[in-house]
Amino acid sequence: MDKSRIALISTGGTIEKTYNILAGVLTNEVSVLEIMIARLQLEGVELERISLMNKDSLDMTAADHDLIAETAIEQAGLCDGVVIVHGTDRLTRTGDHICQLEPDPKVPIILTGAMRPYALRTTDALQNLTEAFLAAQLAEPGIYVAMHNRLLAFPGVEKDLDRGTFTKP
């Protein structure tokens, strides 16, 4: 059985935040993606891990968005799918930027994140990561956000602050 080769690009965001006991805040200091991946059964998947940065997306610069988009496009030429773990505040900016640079990717490029960090008991992180991996294998080529049991195609995706999710009006 052939394995699906999926590039997993990590950029930080709420999904990867951990509690800094000395400062009493959630921060992007260490990635928890390896812990999350270890909890999943990814039979038939070969991951290509690419750690670009570990930032809250509100701290991302235009150069960061360029780097993420360029890396995703490059990996789309090498892999069967791409998953980008990203902060939700600027996730749509990155998704739209990828669309501008490569409107017709050859494979699914899936952005995901979490409204609540993996470290919290009431997190949506593991569900969203699982959905992103599945979407990267089953969706038609394109650029999407996978979160909260939905797959929305870019462009035109928006973050709904009142509902705490993404929508496509």
What does the pLDDT look like over 11-45, one tens digit per residue? 987 666 555 556 666 555 666 778 888 889 898 99
Above 70 in pLDDT, residue 1? Answer: no
- In the chain, where the domains are located: 4-83+90-167
Query: What length is written for the chain?
Result: 169
What does the pLDDT look like over 74-116, one tens digit per residue? 999 999 999 999 999 999 999 999 999 999 999 999 999 998 8
3-state secondary structure the chain: CCCEEEEEEEEECHHHCEEECCCCEEECCCCCHHHHHHCCCCCCEEEEEEEEEEECHHHCCHHHHHHHHHHHHHHHCCCCEEEEECCCCCHHHHHHHHHHHCCCCCCEEEEECCCCCCCCCCCCHHHHHHHHHHHHHHCCCEEEEEECCEEEECCCCEEECCCCEEECC
CATH architecture of 4-83+90-167: 3-Layer(aba) Sandwich (3.40)
Q: Give Cα separations from 126 to 93, 116, 120 (angstroms).
A: 23, 10, 11
